[in-house]
Chain A
Amino acid sequence: MLTQVPISWFLTLSAVLFALGVAGFLFRRSIITVFMSIELMLNAVNLSFITFSYHRQSIDGHLFAFFVMVVAAAEAAVGLAIILTIFKNRATLSIDDVDSMKN
C-alpha cells in the first residue's frame, strides 16, 4: 500500500509542515503558538526521518525519530514551565515584550 504512494509525497508533506512551522514561528506573537510551531517543525522532521528510514530499509531513521520525540517531550516540559513563569511575572505572552536580554 505504501509502495503505491511515491516517496516524494511524504517529503513534500514534511516540507510543507516544516514551512508552516517556520512561518508560525516567525509571524505569530503568542509564545504558545510559537511553541506549537516548534513542535510542528520537529514533527515535520520526524516524518522525513521515518520516510527515509522506510525507503532505505534502515533502523537509523527510527532511532533519530525517537530521540527527537524524547527531546521534544523534555523541551515541552521545560518550555511550558518557562512560559508559565513568564506569564506569572509579566502578565503577557507576547514574544516581543520578552526582551530583557536586549541592551
Chain B
Amino acid sequence: MQLWLIPILPLAGFVINGLFGRRFSKSTINAIAIGSVVLSFAWVLKTLFGLAPLDSAYTERYFTWIQSGSLDIGCGFAVDRLTAVMLLVVTGIGSLIHIYSIGYMAHEGGYYRFFAYMNLFMFFMLVLVLGANYLVLFVGWEGVGLCSYLLIGFYFTKKIATDAGNKAFIVNRIGDFGFSLAMFLIFVTFGSLDFSKVFQQAPGASTTVLTTIGLLLLVGACGKSAQLPLYVWLPDAMAGPTPVSALIHAATMVTAGVYMTARSWPIYVHAPAAMDTMAVIGIATAFFAASIGLVQNDIKKVFAYSTVSQLGYMFVGVGCGAFSAGIWHLMTHAFFKALLFLGSGSVIHALSGEQDLRNMGGLRRKIPWTFWTMVCAAVAIAGVPPFSGFFSKDAILLAAHNHAPWMYWLGVVTAGMTAFYVFRAIFLAFFGDYRGHEHPHESPPVMWVPLAILAALSLVGGLLFKIPDFLRAFFPVQEAAEDQSLMLISVAFGLTGIFVAWLLYVAKPAMADSLAGAFRGLYTTLLNKFYVDEIYDAAVVTPVVGGSRWVLWKGTDAGLIDGAVNGVGSLARGVGGVLRQLQSGNIRSYATWILFGSVVAIVAMFIATTLPLGVLQ
C-alpha cells in the first residue's frame, strides 16, 4: 500500500521549501507546503479505504535498520485502527492548519522557513504514529520535539521565544530519558522492540518489570504531553506563531504521549500500579491546570492551560483503562482546541498582535466568523450535549467513576472550571465594549474557512465519529455501565461554569473584580501559576546553573584544566624568559659564557682527575 508515501510527501515539501524556498514566490511555497500535506491526507484516505475494515494490523517492513547480536530493528510502518484515527487527525487537522497559516503568516518574515518546519513536523509526526516498533516511534517522537523547538523559537529575535524553545527542549529531555530507559528495559525483557512481538509476550512477564516499564513510559509521556510535573514548557511554548500552537501544542504533538501509552496497553493492563499513577497524574494535572486557566489574561495562555488540563483528562481515560475514551477525547480535543487556537489567532490577527483579553471586548460584531466558530469550540469543550467534547469527556468521567469515585468528582469540578474559563475568554473578547485601540478587521476566507470546517467537526464530531465503537476490537473490553445521573451531573457543572462566566463578565462585570479582591491571596497565587516556575527555578535551575558555573566552569574547567594548560605554558615562558637573558645578541657576552663554560669544564676535569674519588678513572 506504500505506507511510506504518507510521511515522505511532507518530507519532500520540507526539503524543497527548506532548500529553495528563499527564491520561491509565496504562492509556490504555498503550493508545495499545502499540496504535500493535502496529498498525504488523500493518500491516508486511499490507504484506509484500501485496507478497510482493518481488523488486524497491516505492516510493511522496508529494511533492516540495526542488526547487532540479538538486536534486530527494522524500519517499518504499521497501520491498525488506532493508527488510522491518529493518521486522520494528524493529516486532516494538519491540512486545515496549513491552509489557515497562509492567511495568518502572510505578513510575517521567514515565510518559507515556517512552512518548511511545519512540513518537517508533519513528517516526524506521521513517522511517530506509523512506526511499527518503539525505536521508529522514538525517531518521530524526537523529531516532533525538534520541530516544536524550532517553531516555538520561530521569532528568534525575541528572547522570550528562544527561551521558551529551550525550555520545551530541556524539559522534554527529562521525559525522553525515561522513554529511553523504558526501551532498554523492553528490549532486555522481551528481546525485541517490535510492537507485535513485545505485546505478544507482555502477559508472560513479571508485574514488577511491566510496572517499571509502564512508569518509565509514563515519564516520557508526561514530558511530551505536558503533565505534572513536567507541564511547565507548554504554556511558555505559546511564544511561537499561533498555527504552531494549534497544530503542535494542542492537536497533535502533545497528544503523542497519550497515543504512546494507549498503544502500549498490553503492557499497562498488566501493570495496574502504573495505570493508577497515570490516572492520578492525569486528574491532578487536569484540575491544577484548569485552576490556573481561570485567571489568565493572555488569550493564548488560557487555552494553553486548557490544553494541559484536557491532556490530563486523556491520561485519566487511559489510566482508568478506558483507552478508547482517551483516544476519543484526543480526537475531539484536536477539533475544538485547534479551533480555539486558530480562532484566537484570528482575533490576534484582527487586532494586529494584541493578545491580552483586557484589551479586547465587543468583537462579536466586528469579526463574526471568528466569533461564531469559537463559540462552537467553546460549547464543545464545555461539554454541552450533543457536541463533541460532551461525548468524549463523559466517556472518560464514566470510566473514572468506575475506577474511583473521587476522580470522577474532581473531574466534574474541573469540567465546570473548563466551561468557566473558556466562556470567560469568549465573553471578555467578544462581548461588552471594545477596550482596545487597534482597528479590528475580519480575517480573510483562507483563515475562516478552516475555522468553519473545524467548527462543524467540533459540533458533530462526537455524534459522527464513535471512536469507542471503532476501536472496540482493538482495546480490551471494559464494562460499559451507562449512568444517566453521572452524565447529568457533569453537564450541570458545565452549564454552571458557563452561567457563572456570563454572570461575572457580561451581566455584572464589577463582580469579577470584587471577587478577585475578596480572595486576593488565592487570585494572586493562581495568576502567578502557583509559582511553579519560580519553585523550579529555585530548586532545579539555579542549583544546576550555579553548579555548572562555579564548580564545572570556574572550578573545573577554568581552574583545573585551564590552570594546568596555562601553567605548562607559563612555566615554559618563565624558563624561556630566564634563558632568554643568555641570548643577548652581544658577541662578547656569548664569548664570556663560552669562556666561563670552558673554565668550569677544565676545573671539573681537574677536580675529577686529582681528587681520589676515582669518578672518571
* Interface pair A26/B595, CB less than 8 Å apart: yes
Known: A22-B595, A26-B595. A95 touches B588 (CB 8 A): yes
* Interface pair A101/B591, CB less than 8 Å apart: no
* B584, B588, B592: residue with the most chain A Cβ atoms closer than 10 Å: B588
Counting CB contacts under 8 A, is B64 at the interface?
no
CA distance A75 to B585 in the complex (A): 21
- Inside 8 A of A102's CB, which chain B residues have their CB? 584-586
- Inside 8 A of A95's CB, which chain B residues have their CB? 587-588
CA distance A98 to B592 in the complex (A): 17
Counting CB contacts under 8 A, is A49 at the interface?
no
A7-37 residues with Cβ-Cβ distance < 8 A to B are: 22, 25-26, 34
- Inside 8 A of A98's CB, which chain B residues have their CB? 587
Total inter-chain residue pairs, C-beta < 8 Å: 22
Closest residue to A101 on the B side, CB-wise? B585
Give a binary string over B571-605; 1 marks a CB under 8 Å from any A CB, 0 the rest. 00000000000001111100110010000000000
- Inside 8 A of A100's CB, which chain B residues have their CB? 585
Closest residue to A103 on the B side, CB-wise? B585
CA distance A73 to B585 in the complex (A): 26
CA distance A67 to B587 in the complex (A): 25
Q: How far is the CB of A8 from chain B (nearest CB, A)?
A: 17
- Inside 8 A of B586's CB, which chain A residues have their CB? 96, 99, 102
CA distance A74 to B537 in the complex (A): 83
* Interface pair B585/A26, CB less than 8 Å apart: no
Q: How far is the CB of B597 from chain A (nearest CB, A)?
A: 13
CA distance A68 to B587 in the complex (A): 22
* Interface pair B591/A26, CB less than 8 Å apart: yes
Closest residue to A38 on the B side, CB-wise? B591
- Inside 8 A of B591's CB, which chain A residues have their CB? 22, 25-26
Closest residue to B598 on the A side, CB-wise? A22
Q: How far is the CB of B520 from chain A (nearest CB, A)?
A: 76
Q: How far is the CB of B282 from chain A (nearest CB, A)?
A: 77
CA distance A99 to B595 in the complex (A): 20
* Interface pair A26/B588, CB less than 8 Å apart: yes
CA distance A30 to B96 in the complex (A): 97
* Interface pair B585/A99, CB less than 8 Å apart: yes
Q: How far is the CB of A29 from chain B (nearest CB, A)?
A: 9
CA distance A26 to B594 in the complex (A): 11
A71-103 residues with Cβ-Cβ distance < 8 A to B are: 95-96, 98-103
Closest residue to A27 on the B side, CB-wise? B588
Q: How far is the CB of A86 from chain B (nearest CB, A)?
A: 12
- Inside 8 A of B588's CB, which chain A residues have their CB? 25-26, 95-96
CA distance A23 to B573 in the complex (A): 35
A34-54 residues with Cβ-Cβ distance < 8 A to B are: 34
CA distance A96 to B591 in the complex (A): 13
- Inside 8 A of B585's CB, which chain A residues have their CB? 99-103
CA distance A22 to B585 in the complex (A): 19
Q: How far is the CB of B26 from chain A (nearest CB, A)?
A: 65
* B587, B591, B595: residue with the most chain A Cβ atoms closer than 10 Å: B587
CA distance A102 to B588 in the complex (A): 13
CA distance A96 to B584 in the complex (A): 11
CA distance A17 to B592 in the complex (A): 17
Q: How far is the CB of A101 from chain B (nearest CB, A)?
A: 5
Q: How far is the CB of A2 from chain B (nearest CB, A)?
A: 28
- Inside 8 A of B595's CB, which chain A residues have their CB? 22, 26
CA distance A26 to B596 in the complex (A): 12
CA distance A25 to B595 in the complex (A): 11
* A25, A98, A100, A103: residue with the most chain B Cβ atoms closer than 10 Å: A25
22 A-B pairs with C-beta separation under 8 A: A22-B591, A22-B595, A25-B588, A25-B591, A26-B588, A26-B591, A26-B592, A26-B595, A34-B587, A95-B587, A95-B588, A96-B586, A96-B588, A98-B587, A99-B585, A99-B586, A100-B585, A101-B585, A102-B584, A102-B585, A102-B586, A103-B585
Chain B residues proximal to chain A, CB less than 8 Å: 584-588, 591-592, 595
8 extra interface residue pairs, beta carbon distance < 8 Å, beyond A22-B595, A95-B587, A103-B585: A22-B591, A25-B588, A25-B591, A34-B587, A96-B588, A99-B585, A99-B586, A102-B586
Pick the 4 closest A-B CB pairs, nearest first: A102-B585, A99-B585, A101-B585, A25-B591
